Structure 1
Amino acid sequence: MSFGLKEKMDNPVLFRGARGAVFSPASVPDKEKISKGVAFLKTWGLEIDVNPFKKCRYLAGRDEERAFELASLLEKPYSFLWASRGGYGSLRLLPLLDELVERVRPVWIIGFSDVSILLNYFFTRFGLVTLHAPVVASLFETSLCTLAVLKNVLLRGKNIFLTGEVWREGEAQGILIGGNLVSLVSLLGSRWAPDFSGKLLFLEEVNEDLYRLDRLITQLYHAGVFKKISGLLLGEFKGVSYQEIKPLFLEVFNGPILAGLPVGHGIKNYPLFIGASSSLLASSGQSFLLQKF
């Protein structure tokens, strides 16, 4: 199976009454949190179907059940598919999705953390731009400013503009890929690893000790990732300080680095387009990431 990049597929702006579905590709979600998240999204005028999930150990059903659910949802005329939660399990679905999904139409696939594996998979395989944003279970733990930006992106087609801290000056343009660091590293060496050439790479992580982050960053370095990308963007690394991880990235990448983006496992988890053309400016006078809808 070829994973060469297909022509980019643009998704539509959502409208009041747009129908979508919640899917569970990874760990078992909390039913109460899902109910609250769905109720909140309905205040935006969205119609949402929630599929029942099963439990298999720490997963929301057997691999075949979770993969078939997602493949089936992709065949229906939904405008968006929103992950219930992350955790672990998306990686196990990829060989099954290779067989079950032959094509996709424009549809928003939304989530983050472990689900970033699927965001990159659908972009790499089909050219589908996906949305790195809070999962349904975390919507009630997300800041109001984040939710306002998310609504503007999905329902009004607004661009994404984020500022951060300059760790190394420079300017770069390219397609943005990435997401959760552990999840991304799990793709290395497989046929599902994205093509990093000329890309802007975004990374975030939660509750990993500094030495474990060092190991993950070193693995990316030995895989040649930092020689291929054009720019590096860093979100929240919850559990460690930026001053602790700053030397780790400066040692391995010589291009522009913009850190401290309000994206990750905290209450500020602003949306990012995975697969969209993006511009990174990191200078003493101005620093930002711009993604056009």
Structure 2
Amino acid sequence: MSFIINRRQFLKTVALSAIATEIATEFRQIAIANPFLKTPSKPPRLKVGDTVGLINPASPIDAKDIAQVQQTLASLGLKVKLGKHLLDRYGYLAGSDRDRASDVNAMFADASVKAIVAVRGGWGCNRILPLLNYPLIQASPKILIGYSDITSLLLAIYAKSGVVTFHGPVGTSTWNPFTVDYVKRILFNGEAVTMQNPPNASFKAEIITPGKARGKLVGGNLSVLVAMVGSSYLPDWRQSILFVEEIGEEAYRIDRMLTQLKLAGILEQISGFIFGQCTDCQPKDNQPSLTLSQVLREHIQPLGIPAWYGSQIGHIKDKFTLPVGVPVEIDANRNTIRMLESSVK
């Protein structure tokens, strides 16, 4: 009899253990899949006197551009360290893929460098994604800021390492009071700010679908993002707020790119949508065209998620600094992006 009881107890213990293992595995899978259950890795905040590394991972620049960027960063109380291959040229690229990637890796490996600023965008960042040292980046999180083609680095580093990155000015941007104010409050002060277009903004925001939503903030330049679809360098889109911006693309091209996001199943996963500015996106030669507003409404309204067009994001002088990977709440009625926590330590 005792043998039967012990055998029953044994089998019961094994069954419970198997169930517990299955539950634990399920929770691990949920934690991996659900961005709200993953804690992003936040880089240390900037301080006056810190050294900032300059990289140029996309298109080439001139020496005069470096002097301008050094002056801009010096006005913020920052020192500058130049990437080894900063002035390289290889056709329309700022040096070979390996050299451009090595500058990125070197800046993350350099303990004296506290933040990394891309000098300009252009084209080329997608090419170096397989060459980046993501375990190194994960072990040494630092502020990385830029926009346009730098979208590739921002999204890939967040997706692969979990480190929060920043969609904001590149070195050659216009660092005016509006732009600098957000850089200081978010990267230096560590504030959880609410971003809203100023009353005197040149572009009036348009509501696509009213309402509020919460999610991890992800996005960047639309064409660069679309060029990454199908790769392993994009983050999980579930419960995310997608923001995009563009320059020099007519409405039919925006239509084509949003259609690709739709067909890839990305749009149906997001919780909210923000289209920033579309600079120089008018139809050419008076050709018949849908308006950009029509295109956005046709793609986004059926999703039934809060959305608007016209935020201070893009190839414009007055830019928000957007933390990629940080939880936010958006309000389409008021056109606001409210950070729910600091993006730096």
TM-score w.r.t. the length of structure 1 is 0.91
Tell me if structure 2 keeps the 8 A contact 1:85–1:136.
yes
Choose from 199, 221, 233 the match for 1:192: 233
Q: Write the distance in 1 (CA, Å) between the matches of 2:116 and 2:325.
A: 17
Which residue identity lines up with residue 186 of structure 2 in the other structure?
A: V
Choose from 102, 116, 123 the match for 2:151: 116
Task: Tell me the residue number matched to 2:90.
Answer: 56
SS of corresponding position for 2:64? helix
Q: Write the distance in 1 (CA, Å) between the matches of 2:91 and 2:332.
A: 45
Q: Write the distance in 2 (CA, Å) between the matches of 1:110 and 1:102.
A: 14
What are the within-5 Å matches in structure 2 for residues 218-229 of structure 1? 218-229=259-270
Choose from 297, 311, 316 the match for 1:261: 311
1:76 aligns with 2:117: no
SS of corresponding position for 2:228? coil
Tell me if structure 2 keeps the 8 A contact 1:71–1:100.
no
Looking at CA atoms only, which structure, 1 or 2, has the larger radius of gyration?
Answer: 2
Tell me if structure 2 keeps the 8 A contact 1:188–1:223.
yes
Choose from 60, 64, 71 the match for 1:28: 60
Alpha-carbon distance, 1:168 to partner: 0.7
Task: Tell me the residue number matched to 1:159.
Answer: 192
Tell me if structure 1 keeps the 8 A contact 2:56–2:120.
yes
Q: Write the distance in 2 (CA, Å) between the matches of 1:287 and 1:197.
A: 22
Tell me if structure 2 keeps the 8 A contact 1:185–1:219.
yes
Alpha-carbon distance, 1:281 to partner: 1.4
Identity fraction in percent: 31
Q: Write the distance in 2 (CA, Å) between the matches of 1:223 and 1:144.
A: 39
Task: Tell me the residue number matched to 2:160.
Answer: 125
Render the CA deviation track for 1:129-186: whole Å, top value 9, x for unaligned. Answer: 1111110012xx3432122221222222222322254221121101011100000001
Choose from 245, 255, 276 the match for 2:292: 245
Render the CA deviation track for 1:45-68: whole Å, top value 9, x for unaligned. Answer: 111111243111111110011111
SS of corresponding position for 1:87? coil
Alpha-carbon distance, 1:274 to partner: 0.7
Which one is further off, 103-112 or 60-69?
Answer: 103-112
Alpha-carbon distance, 1:95 to partner: 1.2
Choose from 249, 261, 275 the match for 2:325: 275
Alpha-carbon distance, 1:99 to partner: 7.7
How many corresponding residue pairs? 286
Q: Write the distance in 2 (CA, Å) between the matches of 1:69 and 1:98.
A: 11
Tell me if structure 2 keeps the 8 A contact 1:83–1:115.
yes
Alpha-carbon distance, 1:101 to partner: 4.5
Q: Write the distance in 2 (CA, Å) between the matches of 1:89 and 1:100.
A: 22
Higher helix share: 2
In structure 2, runs of 5+ residues without a counterpart are 1-31, 197-204, 283-289
Task: Tell me the residue number matched to 1:107.
Answer: 142
Choose from 16, 23, 47 the match for 2:48: 16
Which residue identity lines up with residue 318 of structure 2 in the other structure?
A: K
Q: Write the distance in 2 (CA, Å) between the matches of 1:101 and 1:114.
A: 22
Which one is further off, 119-128 or 246-255?
Answer: 246-255
Structural RMSD (CA): 2.0
- Specify whether residues 221 and 104 from structure 1 end up closer, same or farther in structure 2 by C-alpha distance, changes over 3 A only: same
Tell me if structure 2 keeps the 8 A contact 1:207–1:238.
yes
- Specify whether residues 281 and 9 from structure 1 end up closer, same or farther in structure 2 by C-alpha distance, changes over 3 A only: same
Alpha-carbon distance, 1:69 to partner: 1.4
Task: Tell me the residue number matched to 1:90.
Answer: 125
Q: Write the distance in 1 (CA, Å) between the matches of 2:299 and 2:251.
A: 16
TM-score w.r.t. the length of structure 2 is 0.78
Render the CA deviation track for 1:70-106: whole Å, top value 9, x for unaligned. Answer: 1111111121010011100000001111588474322
Tell me if structure 2 keeps the 8 A contact 1:30–1:137.
no
Task: Tell me the residue number matched to 1:45.
Answer: 77
1:231 aligns with 2:281: no
SS of corresponding position for 2:243? strand
Render the CA deviation track for 1:23-62: whole Å, top value 9, x for unaligned. Answer: 1111002321231122121121111111243111111110
Tell me if structure 2 keeps the 8 A contact 1:130–1:273.
yes
In structure 1, runs of 5+ residues without a counterpart are none
Tell me if structure 2 keeps the 8 A contact 1:80–1:107.
yes
Tell me if structure 2 keeps the 8 A contact 1:8–1:127.
yes
Which one is further off, 124-133 or 150-159?
Answer: 150-159
Tell me if structure 1 keeps the 8 A contact 2:134–2:157.
no
Q: Write the distance in 2 (CA, Å) between the matches of 1:18 and 1:159.
A: 22
